[in-house]
Structure 1
Amino acid sequence: MDFSIASILLLDGVTNGAVYGLLGLATVLVFTVTRVIFIPQGEFVAYGALTLAILQTGKVPGTVWLLLILAACASVMELLARWRHDGRWGSAVRAALKTLVAPVLISGLTIWAAPQQLPLAVQAVLSVAIVTTFGPLVYRVAYQSLEDATPLVLLIVSVGVHFAMTGFGLLFFGAEGYRNPAFWGDNFELGPVRVSGQTLIIFAVAAALITLLWLFFERSLFGKALRATAVNRTGARLMGISTHTSGQLTFMMAALIGAVSGLLIGPTTTVFYDSGFLIGLKGFVAAVVAGLSSYPGAMLGALFVGVVESFGSFWASAFKEVIVFTLILPVLLWRSLQSGHSDEDH
């Protein structure tokens, strides 16, 4: 291996690591606020890439119909929950309709826009909007009624949600893989390395999302509420912070990050209905390296995972996944020896 090959592998690793870093940040965010180890994070990635791919063909993506089905289920659950809480049908119906508004509007806009062959940027924004709307609905249907459950129960639910979303992906997208067009097709020579415009977009979007997340948590009231919930759920609840709203907002942000990540990797690899699992699992490895608690640690862990994967694919391409996932074993051992148990773990 000479310097030029090492440079190419390093660039490829850092590029992939930037995407894994976003998924790692989403995993840490969901776990710190809701105590959910969100295994299906990668499904949002696949849904984002595949939604854009179907829009490129001029057809209505299957995520629209799945979104409407999920919204209907969440609306019925909200209707029954509100009626049981205060016994008034008026407030229960309003809550149910409020759950339906965003999914129905976004779905209607997508059904109209799909055959119009709109520009790629508009289709990308529409894809992100569709997948982002999944976040609060997934939380409402699968997790909200289990807020006080143990992390083990929430983990088991996450496994079930993963299998459900993967199955729905096969049903609505089929087994065929798709590859999206690059958002910027130019190439630039940087010494021995050729940097594509798509790579620059990945770096720019990752940096922008990280900056926006920092500003959100530091400057906004909602961000501070999520931080309070992450520090002490019981204390936040006593101060009037709704754990329901915190959970739905957290899942919405995770879905947004997943959808954007899907658009970023769509032009670099062929995405299938089940591709999100391995991609999300690498983000989870990065989050575990950070102890599921540190955002900078998750980003550094993701860059390390990306570089190891890149060099591992050069030396032993058949075992690159094994190499990456083996990294988690010593980290888990070290974390288990160094960390105690909190009261909320029981």
Structure 2
Amino acid sequence: MNSNIAVLLAQDALINGAIYALLALTLVMVFSVTRVMLIPQGEVVSLTALSLAAIETGVVPGTVWLLCVGGGLAALMELYTWLRERDRRALRAAFFYIAYPAAVTALALATVPLASSAWYRMFLTLLIVVPLGLMIYRVAFRPLAHASVLVLLIVAMAIHFILLGFGLIAFGAEGVRTAPIFSGVIRLAGFPIKAQAIFVVAVALALIVVMALFFGRTLIGKALRATAFNRTGARLVGIRTESSGTLAFFLAGLIGAISGLLIAPMTTIYFDTGFLIGLKGFIASIVGGLASYPLAAGSALLIGLIESYSSFWASAFKDVIVFALIIPVLLWRNYSAAHAEEDDE
């Protein structure tokens, strides 16, 4: 391995680590607020990339129809809530779940066949994919808000398989890769660095900083943190935990969709690629104990480095090496928990 290869591998590691870090942070956030292990987050990433690729070719992506179906189911559930409780907020939510998919579908049908800029294609993709997080929460998880973690995990796995099957039906088994937002190579200290790679890392770092400021400085972010720390206490001080769950899933959908836009030009995306990406983000979140944001982000970068350099030395076993990282972490956490229980006694 020479210095040029080492730099290229480090570049790939930073790109992958940045994406894994975003996914790990969203998994930690959603689990802390709702106790849901968001297994389908990887599918949000892959569906975003596949949708953007379809729009680039002038084809209306199948996710538009998924948005309509999800909106229809969510609207029916909100109407049932309104009939039962006469809550006007449910009626407004039902109107949103009907009107928004209809408006986005009309916009997609009118503009996708036309030649448009890359920025507009990404904006339209975000309009289509981001609300799916809200609809997944409203249809699948909000009615089970008080269920056990195991039940929520089973539902999350069911959603994962539904989205996986939908991706295969809507986009086929062929892989896609979108055009880069920034083409060309920039030389730093004599080493070639892709402009797209710099853009991906910069956007990921910006999102992490914005998330830190959001949770640390804003009232809504502090309400989410309060819900994560103590759901019962949050209810007692007037924080609606259902609204916190909705916001957490919206942020998860937004970050997952942005991650899909970032990774689409860098690697070939298949209908099932999201599962592997999400699983590596899950490992980073487990290393962080599903509670620590900085530790989850640092673990994601470490996973990116291990994956990148192991692909050079042992490419056939790179995924095995990455997934094996979770074994010593679980053993260490089990050992630490056992000692903590002994101390309590």
Structure 1 position 100, deviation (Å): 2.3
* Post-superposition CA distance 1:190-219 (Å, at most 9, x none): 245310011011111001111211221123
* In structure 2, distance between residues paired with 1:245 and 1:110: 29
Q: Find the residue that maps to 1:194 and give its secondary structure.
A: strand
* In structure 2, distance between residues paired with 1:295 and 1:108: 39
CA contact (8 A) 1:18 1:206 kept: yes
Confirm or deny that 1:324 pairs with 2:328.
no
After TM superposition, where is structure 1 displaced by more than 6 Å over at least 4 residues in a row?
A: none
TM-score by length of structure 2 reads 0.94
Structure 1 position 127, deviation (Å): 0.7
Equivalent position to 2:332, from 331, 334, 339: 334
Confirm or deny that 1:72 pairs with 2:68.
no
* In structure 2, distance between residues paired with 1:199 and 1:123: 20
Alignment of 1:7-156 (within 5 A): 7-86=7-86, 93-156=91-154
Equivalent position to 2:308, from 294, 307, 310: 310
> Which residue number corresponds to residue 279 of structure 2?
281
Task: Name which of structure 1's ranges 327-336 and 184-193 shifts more when overlaid on structure 2.
Answer: 184-193
Unaligned runs of 5+ in 2: none
CA-atom RMSD in angstroms: 1.8
* In structure 1, distance between residues paired with 2:35 and 2:212: 21
Structure 1 position 97, deviation (Å): 1.3
Question: How many residue pairs were aligned?
Answer: 340
> Which residue number corresponds to residue 262 of structure 1?
260
* In structure 2, distance between residues paired with 1:112 and 1:212: 34
CA contact (8 A) 2:51 2:63 kept: yes
> Which residue number corresponds to residue 292 of structure 2?
294
CA contact (8 A) 2:14 2:201 kept: no
Distance 1:92 1:14, change over 3 A: closer
One-letter code aligned to 1:12: D
> Which residue number corresponds to residue 224 of structure 1?
222
One-letter code aligned to 2:174: E
Percent identity, aligned pairs only? 50
* Post-superposition CA distance 1:186-245 (Å, at most 9, x none): 101224531001101111100111121122112322211111111111111122211211
CA contact (8 A) 1:77 1:141 kept: yes
* In structure 2, distance between residues paired with 1:146 and 1:339: 28
* In structure 2, distance between residues paired with 1:12 and 1:114: 32
* In structure 2, distance between residues paired with 1:120 and 1:243: 38
Distance 1:132 1:190, change over 3 A: same
CA contact (8 A) 1:102 1:133 kept: no
Task: Name which of structure 1's ranges 195-204 and 102-111 shifts more when overlaid on structure 2.
Answer: 102-111
One-letter code aligned to 1:81: T
One-letter code aligned to 1:80: Y
Confirm or deny that 1:193 pairs with 2:191.
yes
Distance 1:220 1:83, change over 3 A: same
Unaligned runs of 5+ in 1: none
* In structure 2, distance between residues paired with 1:293 and 1:104: 38
Distance 1:91 1:201, change over 3 A: closer
> Which residue number corresponds to residue 211 of structure 2?
213
* In structure 2, distance between residues paired with 1:85 and 1:324: 49
Task: Name which of structure 1's ranges 5-14 and 73-82 shifts more when overlaid on structure 2.
Answer: 5-14
* In structure 2, distance between residues paired with 1:254 and 1:91: 23
CA contact (8 A) 1:21 1:302 kept: yes
CA contact (8 A) 2:46 2:271 kept: yes
